[in-house]
Each structure stands twice: as structure tokens, then as C-alpha cells.
Amino acid sequence: MQQTVAAAEFLAACALSRVDAVSGFARDGLLSSQEVFTQQLVTGLSNGMIIALIAIGYTMVYGIIELINFAHGDLCMLGAYFALTVVGALGVDQWAGTGGIMGLVLVLVGTAAFCGSLNWSINRLAYRPLRKASKLSLLVSAIGASFILVNLGLFWGGLPMDVFADGTSSAAPKAFPALVSAAPAAQIGDVIYSRTDLLVLCVTLPLMVALTYLVRFTKLGKAMRAVAQNPTGASLMGIDVERVIGASFFIGGSLGGFATVVYSLYNQTVSFQMGYRMGMDAFIAAVLGGIGNLPGAVLGGILIGVIRSMSDGYLEARWTNTVVFGILILILVFRPSGLLGAKLREKV
Amino acid sequence: MAISSKRITINLLLIAAVASIPVIEKFVPLGLHISDPMTDVFVYAILGLGLNILTGFTGLLNLGVAAFAAIGAYVFAISTCEIYPFQLGFWSALGLTMAAGALAGFALGAPTLRVRGDYLAIVTLGFGEIVKDVLVNMDSITKGTQGINPLPPPTLFGHELGGSGQYWLFMAIALLVAVGARSLERSRIGRGWISIREDELASRAMGIRPDHAKMLAFATCASLAALAGALTASRLSSSGEPGNYDFQISILALCIVIVGGIGSVRGVLLGALVMVGMNSIVLVKLTELMGGSDAAPPAALAEAHGLQWAFLFVKTWAQNVLISPTNWKFLVFGLALVLMMIFRPEGILPARGAKEDAPDGDEGTGGVTGGVTGGITGGGASSVAAKELRP
């Protein structure tokens, strides 16, 4: 009998602790002011633009071969390691003035080329042999590729270089040097707009414009749209489908390369495990916007960035992942086509 | 197919060989100590057999099976640990754990019945992350990252079991689960699952209710995963921290199923031996042989030039990471998945009929992936957004 009472008390305590937690969130919410809100919004938008750029990589690949490219986040992680290696080997962080800007451009373009080529090669080695296999075999292969990339990141972190802290603990997170000065670019009220915020805009916006141009107005873009609609039909029209798929992987990967440099500059630390988180955020963004839909990926990325930052600010940071994954599940269950995606089509 | 007496003999011999490992280790000091990691193999075999029911038989890919193991471990811990008011015995807690696991399986399965194919895989992945985070964050109940301990060891008829006793008990449970899975596969329910995997629409037309069958598969999978979690918790006397039940474990379970032979019970047992053996026997023993994974003393890279520098650079790098075999773990998992998918999608010990049942419609390499593996698309029916790439 006593045990039953104790058990009941325990369950009641569990229920109460939930109520406590919820009311705690509400209290925190009341305390914050307009400035805090705007600051969180700025951070959220900046992170959101980065997520959007990575999400485009997911959505392009999904639009064309219906593969959730699980390795995309880890590709970006390797990109960050590549950028860090370039910075360390050339001493880019010591370049001053115009040289510094040139160095930044060099790192951005180099990483983009690296990630693009790597993504192209992964497609060639791990996905292309499975073109006729089931979608889930392809997904399993992508998960395998992701694990291989994670392991390569672990190896890479052991390089005996200064930027990797001599590589003595390869698994530890590495500090990414600040190539952009930490001084604020502008301050309105108490809200600080940092130079990295500015950098995010300067990198992401032109790329998105360029991509829109590419997909809408060039011959390659037309071919990509055709392959996305109907690969067989496209190949009958004389389009080299494999070449188009390869190009999509390259473009998606290089956008991820740009994004990962900006991400590393923004968050100032990289680790071999960051790809999973980055990849999940971007994938959730792509699904939220409607996977296969490029403007949807951007919208989704911005929304996820803002939701994350608001959740960090107003709930608790430790619940942020739960919130984001909860959103993912709700979308997939109730509106799998996302916000901007087309209507569901049931294949029989 | 009738079970031939030859087959029974082989199976019995194999069981006897595996069962004799602790005895041999006791009397023949080889210094290998593999009975401990072998107990892990049994637990992972149970996890793999559970996943096999959902992914292998029914064709629903689950990337969050570790979450069910976590739920199992924590339910077991809360119902037995002395700091909580329940303090059940080992076996009743195990029963409760399996029931709770089944319930969790229903909870995930019910709302996701309409989610198919790769989207379902992502939902299960998200579920796994949420469970992990909730276990960390609800620290007033779950003790957060400390985990719950101490827990009572496994008992049998009132006796607490030590190392070898646990080995035999876990082996017996794994065998029981394997036999159960085999009988389920041949039963009406199991044939229903397989027919859903092959073609959901056709099986519906034949009078099978896919929703019921899928829910049942979810619950069975979750219940077995919870059992595996509870057994580990009991063996380690701790629920472990929630971070232990992460995506890696789910992928290890998936590797076990895929490498062994998706949909094949014997294959899953072999897969558990191969993958867990690789992970906690081969890599660990190699690391021990090489004298641990201490980082190398900083080499005099600054003074070296040219070839000597390159040599020193590579040498230091190798000493930093490459030399430690445990650092190759992800590479082994990853390669296993990619290579199996490309060269032998039906696994080492394929399920019967895995190759012959290739779907007719596929051309080219479609035939190789056919049957069971082709079946994990969820019967070819997919509900995804209409394909598009809109600028």
C-alpha cells in the first residue's frame, strides 16, 4: 500500500515538473524586450540564410533524383575543414586590408570548388551505380557515404597543423580564425548588426540570384528542369541525364561550400560532428519549404533559422532541437508537400 | 519447406559452440576475453531482429530504433532502481519494459501510417532525436546526463547472475527471439507483413489490413528494441546517459540487418556477429595490441624541410589518428552500407527468395536489388510531393 502511494506521488511529481517547465518558459518570455527580440531576429535571419544555402543543395538533388542526400551536411563539414586547412597553410588570417578580402574570397571560392567536386565524386561512386535500385537502397547508401565523410573529418582533424591544435586531439572542436573583424558594422538602439551578418547577406543573396538565373534562363537550367520532370523523356530529347545530375550535385555541393565557410566564420568553431546538425537543419528547412522547390528551400531555411533563434531566446536552448524536429515530424505527417510544395500525388 | 535433420544438427552444433565460449575461456587462458563483447552481440542481435521485423519483413525503414532501446533502458531503470518508488524485480520489470516499448511503437506508428518510404525514415530519425533530448532535459525524472544507477543485475529463480550466467541468459533470450521471429515470419501475421512489403495495394485487395499489420510491426520492433535496451541497462547496472542511444546505434542496428541479409533471421544473427564483432572485438583488440591511442609527442615539424618535413607530417598525422583502429569505426560502417548496397543488396545470408523475386518491371541492375531489398521501398507506392524543380 505504502509503495502504491509513493508511486502515485512520484507520478504526480513528474506531472508537476512539466507544468513548472512550461510556466518557466512563459516567465522568460515576459522578461524580454523589443531589443532582445530584434537581436534574436537578426541572428536567426543570418543563420537562416546559411541554412537556406545548404537546403538548396538538398532540394536540388531531391528534385532531380528523389534522393535525400544524407551526406550533404557532412560534405559541408569537410568543406569547413578544407577552409580551415587553407587558412592555416596560407596564413590567410594574417593578411591585412585588401589582401584580407582577397583571402576571404579565395577561401570561399576554393571551398566551393572543393565541395562541388567532392559532391560530384560521391554521386559518381556511391549513387550512380544505384540509379535503377530502390529509393531506400539509395538512402542507405547516402547514410553510408555520410558516415565515411564523418570519419574522413575525424582523420582530417588529426593533421599536425596549428589550426588543428597540432592534431593531438582529432575529435575535439577546432576554433575557426576570425577572417572578418568582430567590430559591429552598425548599431541601432541596442541591436548590433555585426560584420559577419553583413557577410552572410553579401554571400548568400548574390548566390541565390545567380542560381535562380541559372535554373530559369540557361540551357543547363532548362535541362535540369526537364530531368526533374521526367528523366526518360529528357533523355529522349537528347539531354545527357547523367551529366545534368552530376552538374546538380556539383552546384548543390559548391553552394554548400560557400555556406559552410560563412557558417564557420559566423559560429567560429568547427567539429567533425557538426555536419549532422547542419544537415538536419537544412533538410528540415527543405522539407518545410516543400522539397524540390528552390524558393521553398530559402523560405524554409529562413524560418528554421528564426525558429531556432527564437527558441534559444525565449524557450531554452536545450529544447531547440526538440522543437525543430517536432516541426519536421508535424510537417511530414500533416503536410508532406511543405509550405510551397505541389499537391500530393499518390502513385499506385 | 521442411526443416531437414541436417540443418537441425548444424544449428545445434553452432549453438553449442557459442554456448561453450565462457567455459573454454575459463579453462583455456587465451587472454582474449571475448565472452563480454559476445554478450553485446546477443543484445544487438535482439535489436537487429526487432528492426528486421519492421524493416526486413514489413519494408518500413526505421532510423530511430535506438530511441526504443533508450525507452526500454529508462523504463527498466525507473521501475527497478532503488531511488524510485517502484522497485520491481528483474523479470517483472522486463515485462513492463516490453509493454512500454510496444506502447511507444504504437505512439510512433499510429500517426505515421500515412507517411511512406524515405519520409518515414526521416520521421523515425526525428523521433530518435526527440526521445534523446527529452531524456536529457527531463532531468528531474531521468537524472539527465548522469543516467540512472545502480540497477539490479539479471536474476534467474532468485539467483543473481554473474558474467557467464548473463552470457547464457542473454544467449537464450536472443535464441528465443530468433525462433519467435522465424515463427512469426511463417505465421499469418508474418506473411501479411511480407505481402505489404511486396505490394501494399495487392495485399489490401487480398484482405490484409495494412494499417493493423504495420502498427503490429512497429509495436513488435519497439518492444524487442526496448528489451535489448533493458538487458543492457541491467548488465551495466546503469541506464547509461541518453547520448549513448544516438543515431550511431540506430545505424549500427541497420547495418546488422542489411549486412546480414535483410528479412533473413539467420542473416541478422550473423550480421550482429560481424558488425558488433568488428566494432567491439576486432577494433578494440587491435587498439589494445597497438598499445592504446595516445597522441604522439609533437614532432619537430618546424625545423624540418622538404621530404623530411613531408615524412614527419604524415608520421605525426598517423600517430595522431590513423594508428588507432577505433578511429576507423565510422568508415567501416559507412563502407559496409555503401558496398552492400552496390554489390550485394540482399546481404551475406539472404532471405529465401530474395534474388528470384525481382520485380518484373525493372530493367538493368533492378534485378539484382529485387525481391526483399527492392521491397523496402514500401511496395512501390510512394506519396511524395510531385517532382519539380521550380526556380
Confidence bin at A314 (pLDDT 50/70/90) = confident
Provide the domain limits for residue B193. Answer: 33-290
Give the least confident one: A171-175, B205-209, B323-327.
Answer: B323-327
Check whether B373 has a pLDDT greater than 60: no
Q: Is A203 among the domain residues? A: yes
Which chain B residues contact residue A141 at CB under 8 A? 337-338, 341-342
Mean pLDDT throughout A123-148?
A: 88
Q: Which residue of A has its CA nearest to B297?
A: A168
Q: Is A160 among the domain residues? A: yes
Q: Is B348 among the domain residues? A: no
HSE-CB at B367 with a 13 A cutoff on CA atoms is 4
Segment 2-41 of chain B within 8 Å of chain A by CB: none
CA atoms of A144 and A135, how far apart (whole Å): 14
Q: Are A145 and A122 in contact (CB under 8 A)?
A: yes
Check whether A22 has a pLDDT greater than 70: no
Mean pLDDT throughout A3-7?
A: 60
Q: Does A60 touch chain B (CB under 8 A)?
A: yes
Nearest to A66 among B121, B301, B387 (CB): B387
Which cell is B23 given? 567455459
pLDDT digits (tens, 9 = 90+) for B304-316: 677 777 888 788 7
Segment 143-182 of chain B within 8 Å of chain A by CB: none
pLDDT at B298: 55
Q: Is B92 among the domain residues? A: yes
pLDDT at A342: 65
Contacts for A225 with CB less than 8 Å, ≥ 6 apart: A215, B389, B391
Mean pLDDT throughout A137-163?
A: 88
How many residues make up chain B in this entry?
A: 391
Taking residue A202's Cβ as centre, other Cβ atoms within 10 Å add up to 12
pLDDT at B45: 93
Q: Does B345 contact A137 at a Cβ distance shorter than 8 Å? A: yes
Most confident listed range (B96-110, B113-127, B368-382): B96-110
CA atoms of B256 and B274, how far apart (whole Å): 8
pLDDT at B47: 94
Check whether B377 has a pLDDT greater than 50: no
Most confident listed range (A174-178, A218-222, B144-148, B263-267): A218-222
Q: Does B365 contact A333 at a Cβ distance shorter than 8 Å? A: no
Closest CA to A73 of A322, A272, A280, A325: A280
Tally of domains within chain A: 1
Q: Are B214 and B59 in contact (CB under 8 A)?
A: no
Report the gap between the CA of B242 and the closest CA in chain A (Å). Answer: 14
Q: Measured between alpha carbons, how far is residue A58 from residues A100, A111, A205, A256, B383 in Å?
A: 32, 18, 18, 9, 18
Check whether A44 has a pLDDT greater than 70: yes
Q: Are A256 and A72 in contact (CB under 8 A)?
A: yes
Mutation target for B interface from A65, A137, A293: give the one with most B CBs within 10 A.
A137
Q: Does B121 contact A136 at a Cβ distance shorter than 8 Å? A: yes
Q: Is the peptide bond before B150 cis (omega within 30 degrees of 0)?
A: yes
Q: Does B133 contact A221 at a Cβ distance shorter than 8 Å? A: no
Q: Measured between alpha carbons, how far is residue A103 from residues A93, A116, A313, B90, B163 in Å?
A: 8, 20, 34, 63, 60
Closest CA to A331 of A305, A304, A309: A304
Report the gap between the CA of B194 and the closest CA in chain A (Å). Answer: 17
Report the gap between the CA of A302 and the closest CA in chain B (Å). Answer: 17
Q: Is B6 among the domain residues? A: no
Q: Grid coordinates 533471421 are at which residue?
A: B265
Q: Does B356 touch chain A (CB under 8 A)?
A: no
Q: Does A145 contact B329 at a Cβ distance shorter than 8 Å? A: no
Confidence bin at A338 (pLDDT 50/70/90) = confident
pLDDT at B300: 65
Q: Are B295 and B276 in contact (CB under 8 A)?
A: no
Q: Does A132 contact B335 at a Cβ distance shorter than 8 Å? A: no
Taking residue B326's Cβ as centre, other Cβ atoms within 10 Å add up to 12
Q: Is B352 among the domain residues? A: no
Mean pLDDT throughout A27-34?
A: 54
Mean pLDDT throughout B207-212?
A: 87
Q: Is B165 among the domain residues? A: yes
Report the gap between the CA of B185 and the closest CA in chain A (Å). Answer: 22
Check whether A285 has a pLDDT greater than 80: yes
Which cell is B386 given? 510531385
Closest CA to A200 of A55, A321, A50: A50
Give the least confident one: A201-205, B159-163, B212-216.
Answer: B159-163
Segment 259-278 of chain A within 8 Å of chain B by CB: 276
HSE-CB at B336 with a 13 A cutoff on CA atoms is 25
Q: Is A39 among the domain residues? A: no
The secondary structure element, H or E, covering residue B191 is helix B188-198
Segment 184-213 of chain A within 8 Å of chain B by CB: 211-212
Provide the domain limits for residue A116. Answer: 50-166+198-274
Confidence bin at B258 (pLDDT 50/70/90) = confident
Check whether B26 has a pLDDT greater than 90: no
Q: Grid coordinates 533492378 are at which residue?
A: B366
Q: Are A167 and B316 in contact (CB under 8 A)?
A: yes
What are the backbone angles phi and psi of residue B373, rounded to the nearest 5°? Answer: -70, -45
Q: Which residues pair with B160 in a beta bridge?
A: B155
Q: Is B184 among the domain residues? A: yes
pLDDT digits (tens, 9 = 90+) for A50-75: 999 999 988 999 888 888 888 999 99
Q: Grid coordinates 595490441 are at which residue?
A: B289
pLDDT at B354: 55
Q: Is A242 among the domain residues? A: yes
Confidence bin at A30 (pLDDT 50/70/90) = very low
Question: Pairing state of beta strands B159-160 and A184-188?
Answer: unpaired
Q: Does A137 contact B341 at a Cβ distance shorter than 8 Å? A: yes
Return the DSSP state at A187. E
Q: What CATH number corresponds to the domain at position B272?
A: 1.10.3470
Which chain A residues contact residue B391 at CB under 8 A? 211-212, 215-216, 221, 225, 294-295
Check whether B109 has a pLDDT greater than 80: yes
Which chain B residues contact residue A14 at CB under 8 A? 140-141
Please calculate the CA angle A301-A303-A305 and round it to the nearest 5 degrees.
70
Tally of domains within chain B: 1
Check whether B290 has a pLDDT greater than 80: no
Q: Which residue of B has its CA nearest to A317?
A: B137
Q: Is B54 among the domain residues? A: yes
Q: Are B152 and B94 in contact (CB under 8 A)?
A: no
Three-state DSSP state, B107 = helix
Q: Is A229 among the domain residues? A: yes
How far apart are the two ends of chain A, measured CA to CA in Å? Answer: 58
Q: Does A148 contact B129 at a Cβ distance shorter than 8 Å? A: no
pLDDT at B297: 56
- ipTM of the modeled complex: 0.81
pLDDT digits (tens, 9 = 90+) for B51-98: 999 988 988 888 889 999 999 999 998 888 877 777 787 888 889 999
pLDDT digits (tens, 9 = 90+) for B122-163: 889 889 989 988 888 887 777 877 778 787 878 788 777 777
Closest CA to B186 of B2, B370, B389: B2
Q: Does B317 contact A137 at a Cβ distance shorter than 8 Å? A: no
Q: Does A294 contact B251 at a Cβ distance shorter than 8 Å? A: no
CA atoms of A93 and A76, how far apart (whole Å): 21
